[in-house]
């Protein structure tokens, strides 16, 4: 009997549940390949893990812990949290615990280190764990208790999600990239438009999109309520993965007769770069509609846009220029490796000469932790992923979201600026 066509998401879930076939709505118990936590979510997971009285984690090479949110420790309490996480990692011999100076923002770091691979099933106690779907993996965010249970058992339960397919055709205009595509999608379907669902990104535009742009898109699936964002692996994926992977991996593809809850088509040819205005990522406008909005701070970095191509885009705009005297520009390379590559390519020199502060990798300002908190009434343009009330500081501050190109151009002008106006 021929099985019904399945999506890439359904195939990965089926494989990890030891099944030949699964259908949306079914509840499964799955084996997980990687369990991830950070310095904010792991402390709660450790408390829950200890309630289980497990002697050890299920596999000390597959539990990954990255202190990246409030590190380098921003105050005594966060230092205590980081210490608790470090002590746990040492006690359990966690191989992939990444200390300050060798770490990175988790979702930039894990792919770089080859710890997450195509065909994997990954859970992380961080909502942006959906980033790894860019590699053709099923990857989703969970809470600390799920992390604790999976650290002990190597398993987690899932409801098989329905899938929405997004097809991108046409030719990407200059200055338009992955950030604009995903913000456009979120603007169209809303912050709960893909709630509980898989978001599958396909089409000729995607086939020629770089890995860094794909990571940016998968990263923000959660901003539409998505369970996971996913891309079929191709040569671009394999070029990225080869040389990083330390174990085998499997490539999965959606069948031609796979079932979708919806198929949405986009022609990108006439797209403009976009900006999400406060206080939801779905409030998407063309950059020209909000041009001239004054800004106090620009942040370039985060798990969304802290990779080398993001820094390259920013450097391309900032080269030989000074930023506006009334703007603070904070640039956070996603990992130490990215930082070093940016240094070798001369980007860091460009940033500092432009008047930017460049920091060691941290999530810091993205979630209003440290390294760039906004005062009451201040406004930031950031390449991050959320513009909720109080996200970067005072509840009466504002965050606008954009790509690194628009962020860099706006830093120069001191107001939101279409990138072609500074070229």
Partner 1 sequence: MKLTGKVHKFGSDVDTDAIIPARYLNTSDPAELARHCMEDADPAFPSQVKQGDIIVADKNFGCGSSREHAPIAIKAAGVSCVIARSFARIFYRNSINIGLPILECPQFIDEVEAGDKLEVDLVRGEIKNLSRGKTYLAEPFPGFMQDIIDKGGLINYVREKVR
Binding site for partner 1 (CB under 8 A): 27, 40-41, 43-44, 47-48, 51-54, 69-70, 74-75, 77-78, 81, 124-127, 129, 141-146, 148-149, 152-153, 155, 157, 159, 191-192, 195-196, 222, 225, 227, 280, 367-369, 386, 388-391, 395
Category of 175 on φ-ψ map: left (φ > 0), alpha (ψ -120 to 50) or beta: left
Using the minimum distance from each CB to partner 1, give the nearer residue, 57 or 117: 57
53 φ, ψ to 5°? 50, 40
Using the minimum distance from each CB to partner 1, give the nearer residue, 85 or 313: 85
Closest approach of partner 1 to the CB of residue 191, in Å: 6
Closest approach of partner 1 to the CB of residue 362, in Å: 13
Whole-angstrom distance, CA of residue 318 vs CA of residue 358 = 14
Closest approach of partner 1 to the CB of residue 311, in Å: 25
Q: Which helix (H) or strand (E) holds 164?
A: strand 163-169
Using the minimum distance from each CB to partner 1, give the nearer residue, 155 or 234: 155
Closest approach of partner 1 to the CB of residue 144, in Å: 4
- Let me know: does 34 contact 116? Beta carbons within 8 Å: yes
Which DSSP string do the residues of 14-32 spell out, in sequence order? HHHTT-S---TT-EEEEE-
Whole-angstrom distance, CA of residue 118 vs CA of residue 12 = 10
Whole-angstrom distance, CA of residue 211 vs CA of residue 134 = 7
Closest approach of partner 1 to the CB of residue 393, in Å: 8
Using the minimum distance from each CB to partner 1, give the nearer residue, 154 or 173: 154
- Let me know: does 65 contact 38? Beta carbons within 8 Å: yes
Using the minimum distance from each CB to partner 1, give the nearer residue, 323 or 401: 401
Closest approach of partner 1 to the CB of residue 99, in Å: 19
Q: Which helix (H) or strand (E) holds 112?
A: helix 106-112
| Cβ neighbours around 322 below 10 Å, total | 12
Residues contacting 80, CB < 8 A, separation 6+: none
- Let me know: does 183 contact 78? Beta carbons within 8 Å: no
86 φ, ψ to 5°? -65, -45
Helices (H), 175-264: 178-189, 204-207, 211-219, 235-241
Helices (H), 190-320: 204-207, 211-219, 235-241, 287-290, 302-305, 308-318
Using the minimum distance from each CB to partner 1, give the nearer residue, 153 or 360: 153
Using the minimum distance from each CB to partner 1, give the nearer residue, 349 or 394: 394
Closest approach of partner 1 to the CB of residue 116, in Å: 17
Closest approach of partner 1 to the CB of residue 145, in Å: 4
257: tokens are 């007769």
Using the minimum distance from each CB to partner 1, give the nearer residue, 159 or 169: 159
Closest approach of partner 1 to the CB of residue 50, in Å: 10
- Let me know: does 104 contact 360? Beta carbons within 8 Å: no
Using the minimum distance from each CB to partner 1, give the nearer residue, 13 or 354: 13
10 Å CB burial of residue 278 (0-12, 13-18, 19+) is middle
Closest approach of partner 1 to the CB of residue 41, in Å: 7
| Cβ neighbours around 91 below 10 Å, total | 11
Using the minimum distance from each CB to partner 1, give the nearer residue, 82 or 411: 82
| Cβ neighbours around 92 below 10 Å, total | 19
């Amino acid at each position: 009997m021929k099985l019904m066509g399945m999506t890439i998401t359904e195939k990965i879930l089926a494989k990890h549940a030891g099944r030949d076939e699964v259908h949306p709505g079914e509840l499964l118990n799955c084996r997980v390949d990687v369990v991830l936590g950070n310095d904010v979510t792991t402390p709660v997971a450790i408390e829950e893990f200890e309630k289980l009285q497990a002697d050890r984690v299920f596999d000390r090479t597959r539990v990954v812990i990255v202190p990246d949110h409030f590190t380098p420790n921003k105050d005594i309490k966060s230092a205590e949290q980081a210490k608790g996480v470090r002590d746990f990692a040492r006690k359990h011999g966690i191989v992939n615990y990444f200390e300050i100076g060798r770490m990175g923002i988790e979702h930039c770091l894990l792919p770089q280190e080859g710890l997450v691979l195509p065909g994997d099933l990954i859970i992380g106690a961080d909502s942006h764990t959906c980033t790894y779907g860019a590699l053709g993996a099923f990857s989703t965010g969970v809470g600390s208790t799920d992390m604790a249970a999976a650290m002990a058992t190597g398993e987690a339960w899932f409801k098989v999600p329905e899938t929405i397919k997004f097809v991108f055709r046409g030719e990407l205009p200059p200055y338009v990239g992955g950030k604009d595509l995903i913000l456009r999608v979120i603007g169209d379907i809303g912050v709960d438009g893909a709630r509980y669902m898989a978001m599958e990104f396909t089409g000729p535009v995607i086939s020629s999109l770089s890995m860094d742009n794909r990571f940016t898109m998968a990263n923000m699936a959660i901003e539409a309520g998505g369970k996971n964002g996913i891309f079929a692996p191709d040569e671009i994926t394999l070029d990225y993965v080869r040389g990083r992977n330390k174990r085998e991996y499997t490539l999965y593809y959606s069948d031609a007769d796979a079932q979708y809850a919806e198929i949405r088509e986009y022609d990108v040819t006439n797209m403009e770069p976009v900006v999400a205005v406060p206080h939801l990522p779905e409030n998407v406008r063309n950059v020209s509609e909000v041009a001239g909005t004054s800004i106090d701070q620009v942040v370039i970095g985060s798990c969304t846009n802290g990779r080398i191509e993001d820094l390259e885009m920013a450097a391309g705009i900032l080269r030989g220029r000074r930023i506006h005297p009334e703007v603070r520009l904070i640039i956070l390379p996603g990992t130490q490796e990215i930082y070093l590559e940016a240094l070798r390519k001369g980007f860091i020199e460009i940033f500092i000469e432009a008047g930017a502060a460049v920091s060691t990798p941290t999530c810091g300002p993205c979630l209003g932790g440290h390294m760039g908190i906004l005062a009451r009434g201040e406004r930031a343009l950031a390449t991050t992923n959320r513009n909720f009330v109080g996200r970067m500081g005072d509840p009466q501050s504002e965050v606008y979201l954009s790509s690194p190109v628009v962020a860099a151009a706006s830093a120069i002008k001191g107001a939101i600026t279409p990138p072609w106006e500074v070229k």
